Structure formats: C-alpha cells, structure tokens
C-alpha cells in the first residue's frame, strides 16, 4: 500500500464540476492499494497517519498530530502511485490492485480512519477527479508498507 500525505490548509475534490468532498485543515491522502495488501497494512497506516506529529505547537515546533488539532482528511484513490516507468515512456500499472479488491480495501481504510473519530471526506473510486488544495508548509510524506 502506498500513501502520499500532504498537510493542507484546505482541500476539495470535484467530479464533473461538482464538489463531492472538502475539508479544512488536515491531510490530503493519495491512496494506492496492491493485491498483496491486507488489513494489517490498513491498520499500520491508520496508526501512522493519525499519530504523525507534523502540525506546529504553540512554539512553532512540529509536535502535534491531526487528532491534536481536530484536523480532517480528504482521501483520494490514486492507483497511479504504482506506476512502473522502467521500460518505455508509457507507465505500466500492473502492480496496482485489481479494481474490485482495491475499492474494497480503500473503503475499509477510510472506515478505519473514521473509526478514530476523524472527519474523512473522499472522492469516488475510479472516477476522473479534480483535486484542489492549499498545501501547508509544504509538508509531504510518502508511506509505502513494503518499507515499514
């Protein structure tokens, strides 16, 4: 499983010019699932993401978690994080999870995030989406469960 986390001041996702999800301060998560992923990977990333301390405390040090600031999450499915560009100029996506499995795991991941008490907005799995965000910092962190 791969997740790109961006700390944001605000973000939204639109489909066909209609906003389907939006948040204030928190994280935009770009989420990719592989066929080898299990609930263990989901649980690991939920724990890492919710406990990650990248928000500033009252002395300006990155010492607070998203839970500490009552932040929100915008979770976007993003199979292209598994792009393989080693051969030629057209990426291969064979390492990305099969759509039915990936969608099931993506939905479960979002449920597990919500179970922590956080507000989680989403796009639509497999849809052509437009994501707007105001990156804060910028702070961008990449998680790959193959390297946990």
Phi, psi of 36 (to 5 degrees): -90, -5
Q: Measured between alpha carbons, how far is 138 from 135 in angstroms, rounded to an integer? A: 5
Structure tokens at 122: 């989403």
Helix spans in 23-135 (H): 39-51, 99-115
Answer for the pair 26, 8: CB distance below 8 angstroms, yes or no: yes
Residue showing tokens 């989420």: 31
The residues carrying an active-site annotation are: 78-80
Q: Which of 4, 45, 34, 42 is nearest to 101 (CA)?
A: 34
Distances (CA, A) of 65 to 27, 82, 102, 116, 128: 11, 27, 27, 13, 31
């Amino acid at each position: 499983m791969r997740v790109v986390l961006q700390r944001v001041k605000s973000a939204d996702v639109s489909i066909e010019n209609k906003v389907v999800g939006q948040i204030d301060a928190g994280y935009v998560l770009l989420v990719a699932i592989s066929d080898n992923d299990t609930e263990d990977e989901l649980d690991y990333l939920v724990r890492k993401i919710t406990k990650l301390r990248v928000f500033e405390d009252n002395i300006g040090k990155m010492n607070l978690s998203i839970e500490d600031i009552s932040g929100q999450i915008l979770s976007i499915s993003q199979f292209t994080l598994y792009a393989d560009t080693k051969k030629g100029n057209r990426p291969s996506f064979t390492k990305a999870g099969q759509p039915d499995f990936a969608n099931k795991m993506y939905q479960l991941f979002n449920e597990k995030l919500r179970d922590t008490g956080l507000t989680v907005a989403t796009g639509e799995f497999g849809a052509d989406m437009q994501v707007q965000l105001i990156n804060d910092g910028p702070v961008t962190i990449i998680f790959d469960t193959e390297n946990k």
